[in-house]
Structure 1
């Protein structure tokens, strides 16, 4: 008789609710049980303020969208999709998909190489550096955390050092979720060998530890999509951490490495 297969562990997807569906559906299609447990809540800025800040994309040569939420909040605010020759910069595949869904042609989007080891600002820079020159006018669309942190300024500093003028639009706030006792129980039930947590943000890890203090995270397992996130997880006591690119095939491979 065939040997019964060991059940796969639950994968806890922690992305914001409006960004998690691709991973949730893709992992379920690949045979993984999934618990969607968003650890970042996205709250859009005032739509009228966003429309005024963007100002019809006038006097710009390129726009950097730091995340799918940066695209989604402008789209929901009724901002028209940017059109060529304006360049749209995206640090990862999720942001590219959001731009395409908005109507931006792929030919107008710059992104890190698909075969590259990481999808982030550092990987994007060699692609967009030839566009940056003295007098170049750029716009960065980003969010801000509950404690006032806007995110990394690495790319902004690079562009300004090359002589560009960079303006920032704060399109959304990132906040920790509010959990009722049932949600807390779901999360506590995913601590241990029966689950693998999937993180695409170090901020999500910080929110989790604030929501569930005194939890023995050294017993938990995690797949993270960037080395910086791995450093934060390990600093919070996580021991079993795998790093992979934020592509579904890479995530599945990382999950399977725990078997």
Structure 2
């Protein structure tokens, strides 16, 4: 549940075999998408451990979000910057799938966010054709100046999101509102289970699907444990920016993957036998 710190959780795989048997994967995503990732890799024989290094909470002031939702019928487009943005924006609308206003362009930067929107009843989500990020969104024809000039666009994001989308769309003539849909922070839960896994040598890979996943993970591990127990683990990073963050933090082996669970799994299947140490 959003707003709760979680202790390390593992997904039992007793008797479960498959092409990823022997892969012991630390999943650092927020708990809702992490649970889906864990189930998918476990189905292929991996042993996933869920330790969300980013905790997702509602914004301190929910009035701007409520106002933005009420204003959607007057908008040209809504952009959800992450799965958490989709989850936390649409959760107040209730458990039943809700349709957004007819004719509203709905955008996601990649397949993971589009999947979260689809799970909440939002169809016809537009995603980039090139890179799965803000730059990819800005390359779409329906977000060029000819399409957005004079139009209203709302961006649902975290409280410290990048300004690129807002600034670029404003420069193209749109009236853009950047609305805080959630707050993210590092966990307060003592990482006891995580440290036991690291010190026991039980992990052989880390999945990182945000830069926060790395920047929040490293301080949780005592400095004395980082060189031999943390930084020698391969990091599967779903974007070049995340990979750069991991390298700058001190990780020695950083593997860039395509976006989302599909990209993670494809990379694991390709590299599990040759590049990941097995247990």
| 2:246 is the counterpart of 1:228 | no
Corresponding residue number in structure 2 for 1:37: 51
| 2:53 is the counterpart of 1:61 | no
Measured against aligned partners, the alpha-carbon deviations of 1:156-182 in whole angstroms (never above 9, x if no partner) come to: 222111111111110110011122353
Equivalent pair of 1:223/1:243 in contact (CA under 8 Å): yes
Equivalent pair of 1:199/1:229 in contact (CA under 8 Å): yes
| 2:112 is the counterpart of 1:112 | no
Q: Distance in 1 between matches of 2:32 and 2:202?
A: 28
Equivalent pair of 2:73/2:104 in contact (CA under 8 Å): no
RMSD in angstroms over aligned alpha carbons?
A: 2.4
Aligned-residue offset at 1:81: 4.1
C-alpha spacing 1:152/1:181, structure 2 compared with 1 (3 Å): closer
Q: Distance in 2 between matches of 1:38 and 1:141?
A: 21
C-alpha spacing 1:65/1:186, structure 2 compared with 1 (3 Å): farther
Out of 94, 111, 116, the position equivalent to 1:93 is: 111
Corresponding residue number in structure 1 for 2:4: none
| 2:214 is the counterpart of 1:201 | no
How does the TM-score come out when normalised to structure 2?
A: 0.79
Q: Distance in 1 between matches of 2:165 and 2:20?
A: 45
C-alpha spacing 1:170/1:7, structure 2 compared with 1 (3 Å): closer
Q: Distance in 2 between matches of 1:49 and 1:39?
A: 27
Q: Distance in 2 between matches of 1:47 and 1:75?
A: 13
Structure 1: 5+ residue runs without aligned partners? 145-149
Corresponding residue number in structure 1 for 2:120: 102
Equivalent pair of 1:19/1:68 in contact (CA under 8 Å): yes
Q: Distance in 1 between matches of 2:20 and 2:164?
A: 44
Corresponding residue number in structure 1 for 2:172: 162
Q: Distance in 1 between matches of 2:260 and 2:220?
A: 28
C-alpha spacing 1:136/1:197, structure 2 compared with 1 (3 Å): same
How does the TM-score come out when normalised to structure 1?
A: 0.85
**Structure 2 residue matching 1:235: 3-state secondary structure:** helix
Structure 2: 5+ residue runs without aligned partners? 1-18
Corresponding residue number in structure 2 for 1:182: 192
**Structure 2 residue matching 1:123: 3-state secondary structure:** helix
Equivalent pair of 1:51/1:78 in contact (CA under 8 Å): no
Number of aligned residue pairs: give it. Answer: 244
Equivalent pair of 1:16/1:41 in contact (CA under 8 Å): yes
Structure 1 segments (4+ residues) deviating >6 Å: none
Corresponding residue number in structure 2 for 1:173: 183
Aligned-residue offset at 1:72: 1.2
